[in-house]
Structure 1
């Protein structure tokens, strides 16, 4: 059981609930052989469109040394495509495939299921308010 003084700290509660959610989502994604970093890359591409490997790594805070391996895995699955940037032939541009968009939609649905299970003790209006409040905090810190 968590020590009572920690349970009085909002930041501790956020951390614990966040870890519970991340671990649950990691487990569900792992059942499909997809780590969370794959979801992050697909989401970034869906949001901003094609991007250079370096820009993509920065956008999802992926270590550049892991970027190539991650993109290799996604490309093998047919979820992304890499092509040479016509403006700079040394640079590779990554784009989301239709299959990648479908996979992202499935992963997001899975994340919604995890959130529903994790937040089951809350009423739907409380879940929506929590989501809204956390979004405001995150946007203010960006």
Structure 2
């Protein structure tokens, strides 16, 4: 696994979000190169988790991105390897718990302002200055990217 600076990756994740990537992509893409993932593949892998999975406003995409990254750091190659699966699930629960501790929930619709939370139409919102100023998602992206970085460096075990 490639070495990295967490602060730089947090900054990159926020830049990703501010450039138009969804919340899940923003976090996932900030670390994709750590595992030598092709950028286009990484974009495709993570796109569907934005907006609480396909804009259904369920689990925050940033939390889903952390879980996907945990799969690379703590893989379960053998489906019968219960220890590996337990290790993976434990780290996902730890990351989700840290996110929830900071924001009170991991559920997208509970994190968003009421007017945004109700919008589940599959068409994404236009990314404008008003869009970015009205939503707290940049904070969620930054915190999830920080948690993911600590997980990847083994600091959450």
In terms of fraction of residues, the more strand-rich structure is 1
In terms of fraction of residues, the more helix-rich structure is 1
* Pairwise TM-score range, normalised by the shorter structure: 0.3 to 0.5
TM-score, structure 1 length as denominator?
0.35
Give 1 or 2 for the bigger CA radius of gyration: 1
TM-score, structure 2 length as denominator?
0.33
Which protein, 1 or 2, shows the higher relative CO under an 8 Å CA cutoff with sep ≥ 6?
2
